[in-house]
């Protein structure tokens, strides 16, 4: 127990990194997901197929495998060194920015964004498809193009409906980033492992780790519930 | 105004329209009746290309809809449509529902759109509902907003697909009243409805459709008082 009390700042540091990597990944995942979700619904068959392949690959393979492929497969350390050299040569980069550039962080964000993007694409697709056909027909009958109907009529309604599943995706991703511990990314679980390796006690430390995850997921799911209620009354 | 010749429409193997010929003159009000499934909605939806005809010709004001060079969006902007289930945009207020298409399709200014919107709301008797969302309006009020929304594009023709059949009986009158005003102002209208009172009061012509064909047409009195076709007779005996 004292181990936890003495070292909790380490765990909180890890929790902060967990939050950061999750936020980045889900935010980028939303952009990828919106794009891929719309491709999936597009009229052009090759585009639909492209989106299909992407979505099926990232949903149909384990995230851990995707992390390994990206961490070991892409020359991210080289990019990193190149980018860092460029930055330090031209700018006075504060430390906290260059820490984001750590290769593990980059690999983690890339892997998690791609993975999240595939799930979010399906969330957006379902959201768009849940809007009644009559809405598009009304918009088209007024002379709007199909992209105007999408932008002004379908998407604003679909966005409200995707808030709860997006919240769930965020929570799922928050937990799944613990997989990044295997490539040595110093997120919450990794910090716990390091402490366990140092002090040779596991139970209280992992319990504390679990508790911190729980606090994060619980507060976030309350936030989602709250937003959901707000959106309902705002209709 | 509207010329339809040899219009066919099928969904896969199901043949819904089997050769419709129909001309609608400017300022004419044509009422379409017929049993459920006879293709009335499909016919209307072909007129603004919400359904793509399998064969035939349709032109509005001389512009052929099936010509690949025709910009279908600009044709639709001139053909208003009112749906059975209103199809208002639920995330927009009554005023925003009306202003959206003029703003985005015609690119008129916000001020102009809003004054147009207010004058149309006044026309349909809903001046006080400008900032209300559709879910706070009754069915009859929603349908009147939907009519105003279609009128905002200043269409040459208005199509109505059973505009009162999703309404509670006490709200039918207010919607029909708006439509009658429109007819008296000289709007060209094609109306699918089983409201015989409306047909006789403002209809210039009634068309009876059955199994994807126009089986009989004439003035309201001719069709309702002296029907010749047997299927029309039995149809009328069911709805009157
Ligand atoms: N999108 C569609 N796909 C397949 N069948 C359709 C579609 N729309 C209409 N139909 C069929 O076409 C027929 C005529 O429908 P409709 O035009 O709605 O008739 P009405 O409006 O006279 O009741 C019906 O049998 C209906 O099931
Ligand atoms: Mg119908």
- Chain B interface includes A146 (CB < 8 A): no
* Percent of chain B with pLDDT strictly greater than 70: 100
In angstroms, rounded to a whole number, what is the distance separating the alpha carbons of residues B13 and B21? 22
Task: With beta carbons under 8 A apart, name residues in chain A contacting B79.
Answer: 141
Q: Which atom of ligand 1 is nearest to the CA of B45?
A: 17
Mean pLDDT of chain B: 95
Q: Hey, what domains does chain A have and what are their CATH numbers?
A: 20-185 (1.10.3720.10)
pLDDT digit string, tens, across residues B38-79 = 999 999 999 999 999 999 999 999 999 999 999 999 999 999
* pTM for the whole structure: 0.87
Residue B88: both structure tokens together: 């208002």
Give the Cα separation of B83 and B17 in Å (integer): 20
| Chain A: closest CA distance from residue B225 (Å) | 35
Q: Token pair for residue B105?
A: 């399709």
Q: How far is CA A123 from CA A95, A129, A154, B235, in A?
A: 37, 10, 14, 47
Q: Which A-chain residues 121-140 have CB contacts (< 8 A) with chain B? A: 132, 134-135, 137-140
Closest residue on chain B to A137 (Cα):
B50
Q: Per DSSP, which regions of B94-219 are E strands?
A: 157-161, 188-192, 205-210, 213-218
Report the C-alpha gap between B35 and B195 in whole angstroms: 14
Beta-carbon separation of B104 and A152 below 8 A: yes
- Using CA atoms, how far apart are residues A89 and B50, in angstroms rounded to an integer? 60
- B34 Cα–ligand 2 center, Å: 9
Q: Smallest Cα–Cα separation from B20: which of B1, B37, B3?
A: B3
- Strands B205-210 and B29-33 come out as parallel
A156: closest chain B residue by CA: B91
Summarize the confidence of residues B153-180 as an average pLDDT: 96
Question: Looking at residues B142-168, what average pLDDT do you find?
Answer: 97
Interface pTM (ipTM) of the complex?
A: 0.94
Which residues, 6 or more positions from A67, have their beta carbon under 8 angstroms from its beta carbon? A107, A108, A111, A112, A179, A180, A182, A183
B37: left (phi over 0), alpha (psi -120 to 50) or beta: left
């Amino acid at each position: 127990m004292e181990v936890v009390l003495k070292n909790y700042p380490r765990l909180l540091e890890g929790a902060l990194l967990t939050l950061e990597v999750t936020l980045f990944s889900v935010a980028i995942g939303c952009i990828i997901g919106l794009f891929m979700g719309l491709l999936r619904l597009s009229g052009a068959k090759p585009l639909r197929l492209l989106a299909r392949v992407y979505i099926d690959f990232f949903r149909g393979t384990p995230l851990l495998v995707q992390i390994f492929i990206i961490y070991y497969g892409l020359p991210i350390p080289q990019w990193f060194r190149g980018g860092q050299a460029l930055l330090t040569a031209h700018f006075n980069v504060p430390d906290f920015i260059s820490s984001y550039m750590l290769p593990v962080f980059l690999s983690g964000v890339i892997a998690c964004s791609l993975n999240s993007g595939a799930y979010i694409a399906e969330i957006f697709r379902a959201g768009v498809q849940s809007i009644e056909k009559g809405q598009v027909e009304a918009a088209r009958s007024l002379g709007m193009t199909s992209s105007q109907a999408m932008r002004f009529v379908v998407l604003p309604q679909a966005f409200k409906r995707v808030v709860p599943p997006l919240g769930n995706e965020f929570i799922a991703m928050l937990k799944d980033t613990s997989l990044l511990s295997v490539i040595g990314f110093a997120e919450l679980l990794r910090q716990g492992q390091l402490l366990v390796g140092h002090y040779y006690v596991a139970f209280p430390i992992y319990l504390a780790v679990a508790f911190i995850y729980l606090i994060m997921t619980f507060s976030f799911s309350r936030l989602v519930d709250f937003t959901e209620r707000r959106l309902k009354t705002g209709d | 105004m509207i010329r339809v010749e040899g219009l066919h429409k099928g969904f896969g193997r199901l043949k819904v329209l089997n050769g419709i010929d129909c001309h609608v003159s400017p300022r004419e009000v044509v009422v379409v009746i017929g049993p459920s499934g006879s293709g009335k909605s499909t016919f209307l939806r072909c007129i603004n290309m919400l359904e793509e005809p399998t064969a035939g010709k349709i032109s509005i004001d001389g512009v052929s809809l099936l010509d690949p060079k025709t910009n279908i969006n600009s044709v639709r902007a001139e053909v208003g449509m009112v749906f059975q289930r209103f199809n208002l945009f639920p995330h927009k207020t009554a005023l925003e529902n009306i202003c959206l298409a003029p703003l985005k399709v015609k690119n008129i200014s916000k001020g102009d759109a809003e004054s147009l919107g207010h004058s149309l709301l006044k026309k349909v008797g809903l001046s006080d509902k400008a900032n209300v969302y559709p879910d706070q309006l009754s069915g009859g009020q929603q349908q009147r907003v939907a009519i105003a929304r279609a009128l905002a594009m200043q269409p040459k023709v208005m199509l109505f697909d059973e505009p009162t059949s999703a309404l509670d009986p006490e709200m039918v009158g207010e919607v029909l009243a708006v439509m009658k005003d429109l007819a008296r102002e000289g709007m060209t209208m094609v109306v699918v409805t089983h409201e015989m009172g409306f047909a006789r009061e403002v209809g210039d012509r009634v068309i009876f459709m059955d199994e994807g064909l126009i089986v009989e047409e004439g003035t309201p009195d001719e069709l309702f008082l002296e029907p010749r076709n047997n299927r029309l007779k039995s149809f009328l005996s069911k709805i009157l």
